[in-house]
Structure 1
Amino acid sequence: MSANISAAGPVTPPGIIAPNADRKRVAFATMVGTAVEWYDYFIYAAAAGLVFGQLFFEPAGSGFGSILSFLTVGVSFLFRPLGAFLAGHFGDKVGRRPVLVTTLILMGLATALIGLLPTYASIGVWAPVLLVLLRILQGLSAGGEWGGAVLMAVEHAPSTRRGLFGAMPQIGVPIGLLLASAMMATMDMIFPGDAFLTWGWRIPFLFSIVLILVGSWVRRRVEESPVFTEIAERKEQARTPVVDLFARFTPLVLLSALVFAGNGAVGYMTTGGYIQGYATNPAGPLALDRGDVLWAVTASSVSWLIATFAAGWASDYLGRRTTYMIGWGLQGVFVLTLFPLVNTGDVRLLGAGLMLITLGLGFTYGAQAAWYTELFPASVRFSGVSISYALGSILGGAFAPTIAQWIQQTTGSSANVAYYLLGMTMIGLVSTLLLRDRKGIDLSPTNEAEQQVGIYAWKK
């Protein structure tokens, strides 16, 4: 019988988790916190596609105003690496839990303040300036959020169930999209027409205050990561974890970033607000009802959640890299069917196109938490995971809606947008092939030497 399996089921190697740790509570806390954090982030993206062009960038005109609005979605990504550097530094030095609570509060306050902002009609150019500043704060928070959440989940998990436990913060992202889209759709029903532009869009932002209180309470109740606890007890925290990371693992950071970029570019067609804006634009070819499109996005977030959870579970049996390869195949096929379905003008087929694309998105996202955690050595793990994710979000998701909008307006063809997404999918696939699967590797700081070898597919 192996060291990781007993007659009672999977157990964790010594030194990874305290015997009395409540793994389920930790997994639940990371899911709730991530859902709250990304609700805030996606509410902004939805509003960027639906109202910000009109309310904050109206002098630029409807076409260019939409591009500027989507640019503000992307601008925050430029500050994610800074958030990741700061969170990685403190997460590797003082612990995972305090960083998670701090990022959650920062994100929520920025979101609530956006809901109180005056529009361009009220204060002129200060309106978009303040909007961008608050979006930057969201970017700083998001840059540090994901790495801490996945490490708390995966480092607490049994070695044979890391994919499953790591899927919990991952499904928090589609839950955040579900909440954001459902909230926006509900406000569209309660405040139809101009009332939505006046007050309806603000309420989901202000609701973030409630979510901050819930998420913060849940996160404060979990224990510190056992891996960091062991590092602290051994007094082996890196003095400059970010410097150490790039000195030894720059190729790993770049490849890991490109893996996520292939997923992010496609995912941000909805989470970045592009499909919502494309389908509901009154001057566009479809001009679909705003509420119907938001409910379709809400439905697709459910299928994304299911696919993400299934991928995390499957990766414990198939391996992380094999699970990704399945995802890239699904994603490559369905990016080519997305716009033909959307362009029918039938909201049911639009919803079907979005749900199909989430199958690929889920299988290139569900295993990410476990794989990233297993790729980086313990002493620089928070920095490596966070910075790779942040860089990948810039290369993939940051300006994907802006690029898609520019391609559509320049060429007049949504097919060219699909080719762009297919190209990003291929980049993710190739990057996946260049990394090794390290499923089940000992994550303890006592195993740091083994964690630094066997990373790249081209090295033995």
Structure 2
Amino acid sequence: MSSPSVPQQQPPSRAQLRNVRLASGIGSTIEWYLSFAYISAAGLIFSQQYFGALGPDALIVSLGSVAASFIASPLGGVIAGHFGDRYGRKATLIGTLAVMGIASLGMGVLPTYDQIGIAAPVLLVVLRFVQGLSTGGEWGGAALMAVEYAPQNKRGFYGVFSQIGTPAGFVLATGSFFLVQALTTPEQFTTFGWRIPFFISVALVLVGIKIRTSIEETPAFAEVKREHSEVRIPLKEAFKGYSWHMVLAAGAFMANILAGLLLIGYFLPYTTVGLNMDAGPVLLILMFASLVWIGSTFWGGALADKFGARATMMAGYILIALWAVPMFALIDSRSLVAFALAVFVLAIGLGVSYGPQSSLFATLFPPRIRYTAASLPYAVGGILGGGFAPAIAEGLHQATGTSLAIAAYVIVFMAMSLGCLLAIRTRHLQGFAATQEAPAVSEAAVVD
């Protein structure tokens, strides 16, 4: 029996399009905010209050628990993608935010090892895994919500809003921990202060859910419903007809997540521990670099609308590859001015290559399987490129005694992602560029 007919949607108002951009950006921001908040707490609190019984290995295990989210991410992409392609983007994205909020609240109220014993670290890792399930399904849906609603010739710009969450999340997480530590005594921070950033994320989740409930289903999926072309098992069709597209998409993303996690996850310990630079100014520079990253991400989206997503991403990767060796030479000088120049230029390359990603991924897959097929490459590319990037970088540095080894590591990944982008041809483009399955919203149709 076919599903009931879905009525034709009215053209979106400018207020609705504004809410679409907000709804797309808030989930990605919360996702990365929580990731960085967890990383901060893993080093400052969790190693003592949850894994302290492990003795000298407590810090290693605590930091290792961060990986639970990366492991869960592909599974989350499959689950959310299935529901998003079968039943709609809107309901699925409300669900991913709700799950994220539950995990965050659980971390905020979780008793310590001294209170409930071994159950404390076990539950903490479980909550981190649940968080990964949510984040694995969040990005794909958020990207599609923006791009599938975007007026013609503005898909790159709209896609940016699912991309800015990484640098924005870093700024928010770092800022929240900084403020809490500044406003509490050391005893207050270890007792309850560290929990406040997790409670803040719950409030952000509620705001995000409210915004997302006000938005109608995306025009592309509404068209799928009208044509009764939903796929029973989206994952099966994605692998059957678009496996090469997903391989190229994952490869195209690897270099960006690698460079991004070096910026926000490795340069702080590299400079403060390895080069004995003052942590305060370094952290401040990294926060400003994240703001540059946000700005250049918007620039990357605008360039994608003018020159194409693939060409724009390639330009960003070429800049990073050319900058890798000079960047580490500047960092190794131990000069704060040189360090700022190094990371600011890197942030420009990151934004230019990161901004167009949503629009590129959306055009690689048809609407009926787009949620599933776009989410998996994002998750897998994140694991391959970023999951172990800080550890690999430090291992290379210790093994060779020179930062040139890390620069070579960056260049190799830039080359691999450039190769994947070069392998993407016009024939690979599905949803918007090569078919009429899901016509985009015309900018002239937008109503006030």
TM-score, shorter chain, exceeding 0.5:
yes
Task: Assess if the C-alpha contact under 8 Å between 1:319 and 1:437 holds in 2.
Answer: no
Aligned residue number for residue 422 of structure 2: 433
Task: Assess if the C-alpha contact under 8 Å between 1:36 and 1:211 holds in 2.
Answer: yes
2:167 to 163, 174, 180: 174
Aligned residue number for residue 111 of structure 1: 104
1:36 to 30, 33, 38: 30
Aligned residue number for residue 151 of structure 1: 144
Aligned residue number for residue 355 of structure 2: 366
- CA-based RMSD of the aligned residues comes to 3.0
Q: Does 1:286 align with 2:276?
A: yes
Work out the CA distance in 2 between the residues paired with 1:333 and 1:444. 31
Tell me how many residue pairs correspond in the alignment.
431
Higher helix share: 2
Question: With structure 2 as the length reference, what TM-score do the two structures score?
Answer: 0.86
Moved more, 319-328 or 169-178: 169-178
Work out the CA distance in 2 between the residues paired with 1:242 and 1:431. 22
- Aligned to 2:276, what secondary structure does the other structure show? coil
Task: Assess if the C-alpha contact under 8 Å between 2:51 and 2:121 holds in 1.
Answer: yes
Q: Give the residue type in structure 1 aligned to 2:256.
A: N
Q: Does 1:275 align with 2:267?
A: yes
Moved more, 79-88 or 199-208: 199-208
Task: Assess if the C-alpha contact under 8 Å between 1:177 and 1:301 holds in 2.
Answer: yes
Q: Structure 1 unaligned segments of length 5 or more: list them.
A: 1-14, 451-460
Task: Assess if the C-alpha contact under 8 Å between 1:81 and 1:387 holds in 2.
Answer: yes
In the TM superposition, 1:24-423 aligns within 5 A as 24-48=18-42, 50-53=44-47, 55-58=49-52, 65-119=58-112, 125-191=118-184, 196-271=189-264, 273-281=265-273, 284-286=274-276, 288-289=278-279, 291-423=280-412
1:418 Cα offset (Å):
2.9
Report % sequence identity: 39
1:110 Cα offset (Å):
1.4
- Aligned to 1:260, what secondary structure does the other structure show? helix
1:258 Cα offset (Å):
0.9
1:55 Cα offset (Å):
4.9
Q: Does 1:424 align with 2:416?
A: no
Work out the CA distance in 2 between the residues paired with 1:202 and 1:327. 37
For residues 17-49 of structure 1, give each alpha carbon's deviation from its aligned partner in whole angstroms, at most 9, with x where no partner exists.
742443232122212232223222222233345
CA change 1:253–1:147 in 2 (3 A) is same
Work out the CA distance in 1 between the residues paired with 2:259 and 2:243. 25
Aligned residue number for residue 12 of structure 1: none
For residues 357-385 of structure 1, give each alpha carbon's deviation from its aligned partner in whole angstroms, at most 9, with x where no partner exists.
11111111100011110111121111111
For residues 103-129 of structure 1, give each alpha carbon's deviation from its aligned partner in whole angstroms, at most 9, with x where no partner exists.
112112212322334455666654433
CA change 1:123–1:348 in 2 (3 A) is farther
Task: Assess if the C-alpha contact under 8 Å between 1:67 and 1:405 holds in 2.
Answer: no
Work out the CA distance in 2 between the residues paired with 1:228 and 1:180. 34
1:346 Cα offset (Å):
4.5
- Aligned to 1:254, what secondary structure does the other structure show? helix
Work out the CA distance in 2 between the residues paired with 1:189 and 1:343. 30
CA change 1:293–1:437 in 2 (3 A) is farther
- Aligned to 1:115, what secondary structure does the other structure show? helix
Task: Assess if the C-alpha contact under 8 Å between 2:250 and 2:377 holds in 1.
Answer: yes
CA change 1:80–1:440 in 2 (3 A) is closer
Question: With structure 1 as the length reference, what TM-score do the two structures score?
Answer: 0.84
Q: Give the residue type in structure 1 aligned to 2:181.
A: D
For residues 290-309 of structure 1, give each alpha carbon's deviation from its aligned partner in whole angstroms, at most 9, with x where no partner exists.
x4443322211110100101
Q: Structure 2 unaligned segments of length 5 or more: list them.
A: 1-6, 440-448
Task: Assess if the C-alpha contact under 8 Å between 2:366 and 2:431 holds in 1.
Answer: no
1:250 Cα offset (Å):
0.9
Task: Assess if the C-alpha contact under 8 Å between 2:363 and 2:433 holds in 1.
Answer: no
CA change 1:263–1:337 in 2 (3 A) is same
CA change 1:225–1:300 in 2 (3 A) is same
1:345 Cα offset (Å):
4.1
Task: Assess if the C-alpha contact under 8 Å between 1:268 and 1:401 holds in 2.
Answer: yes
1:170 Cα offset (Å):
1.4
Moved more, 346-355 or 31-40: 346-355
CA change 1:125–1:332 in 2 (3 A) is farther
Task: Assess if the C-alpha contact under 8 Å between 1:75 and 1:398 holds in 2.
Answer: no
1:192 Cα offset (Å):
6.3
Task: Assess if the C-alpha contact under 8 Å between 1:84 and 1:390 holds in 2.
Answer: yes
Q: Give the residue type in structure 2 aligned to 1:394.
A: I
Work out the CA distance in 1 between the residues paired with 2:331 and 2:300. 26
Task: Assess if the C-alpha contact under 8 Å between 1:97 and 1:219 holds in 2.
Answer: yes
Q: Give the residue type in structure 2 aligned to 1:110.
A: A
Task: Assess if the C-alpha contact under 8 Å between 2:107 and 2:127 holds in 1.
Answer: yes
For residues 122-171 of structure 1, give each alpha carbon's deviation from its aligned partner in whole angstroms, at most 9, with x where no partner exists.
66654433322111111101100011011111111122111111112212
Work out the CA distance in 1 between the residues paired with 2:393 and 2:353. 21
Task: Assess if the C-alpha contact under 8 Å between 2:367 and 2:438 holds in 1.
Answer: no
Work out the CA distance in 2 between the residues paired with 1:56 and 1:280. 26
Task: Assess if the C-alpha contact under 8 Å between 2:362 and 2:431 holds in 1.
Answer: no
